[in-house]
Copies of this chain bind each other. A is one copy, B any other.
Amino acid sequence: MDEINEVLRKAPLFEALDEEDTAALRSSVNEVRLGRGQTLFNEGDEGDRLYVILSGKVKLTRTAVDGRENLLGVLGPSEMFGELSLFDPRPRTASAVAVTDSVLAGLGHDDLRPFLSSRPQVGLQLLKSLAARLRRTNDVMADLVFTDVPGRVAKALLELADKFGKEGDDGLHVHHDLTQEELAQLVGASRETVNKALAEFALRGWLRIEAKAVVLLDVERMRRRAR
């Protein structure tokens, strides 16, 4: 239980809250458990709940009319998603699917309202996080236009490393839990080209490929390749 408080407090959204507030929040939160591959909500669903990841990983995906998919991102513990429907009440524009077994805290507009009025920091924090997200999304967009697929793959891996990387004595282990297909959807390319890019990196000794993970061996060169 305490760990849940811990993770919740680490979430940027709630870092302004004190002990007492967090306790109040806990009571209005509902916990959701998802198994790997299970979907929390689908594009087009109604829903105004915001979720904070307590443990596990969740991917946000969009599906084109012809069925092709596109990953908006992969989120880990203490990250949140679903806020958009909270302030702009429309159907969800992305689906949320667990990439690993996950536990989430969900809370609705009504649960959040008291905090928004009594703790202005919460609102500001929300604005700040949306602003940061918007910046990041604009970056990714620029990459789609200017950077080739290997470059985007490198960038994506480095970002995943920031989030999920664990330093080991043989390199930086990034257990992203994504298939190459998903990785491809994340960078907006075909599975095959991503595979070839990875193979090329491995050949050069910049990384080692493992099942749903990579070990970065030469972060510096990856970084240079990325831009």
Whether A128 contacts B87 in the complex (CB less than 8 A), given A94-B138, A141-B144, comes out as yes
Partner of A131, one of B62, B130, B135, B145: B130
Q: Return A184 CB to nearest CB of chain B, in Å.
A: 10
| A199 interface residue (CB < 8 Å to B) | no
Report the 9 A-B pairs with minimum CB-CB distance, sorted nearest first.
A145-B188, A88-B131, A87-B127, A130-B130, A84-B131, A144-B144, A87-B131, A87-B128, A64-B146
- Flag A119-146 by CB within 8 Å of B: 1 or 0 each: 0100110111011111101111110111
Chain B residues near A166 (CB, 8 Å)?
A: none
User: Which of A132-162 touch B at CB < 8 Å?
Assistant: 132-135, 137-142, 144-146
| A38 interface residue (CB < 8 Å to B) | no
Which bucket holds chain A's interface residue count? Answer: 35 or more
| A79 interface residue (CB < 8 Å to B) | no
| A70 interface residue (CB < 8 Å to B) | yes
State the A residues within 8 Å of B (CB): 62, 64-65, 68, 70, 72, 83-84, 86-88, 90, 93-94, 116-117, 120, 123-124, 126-128, 130-135, 137-142, 144-146, 188, 227
Partner of A137, one of B132, B138, B146, B227: B138
Query: Which residue of chain B is the closest to A147 with respect to CB atoms?
Result: B64
Chain B residues near A116 (CB, 8 Å)?
A: 120, 123-124
Whether A130 contacts B134 in the complex (CB less than 8 A), given A65-B227, A146-B68, comes out as yes
Q: Return A88 CB to nearest CB of chain B, in Å.
A: 4
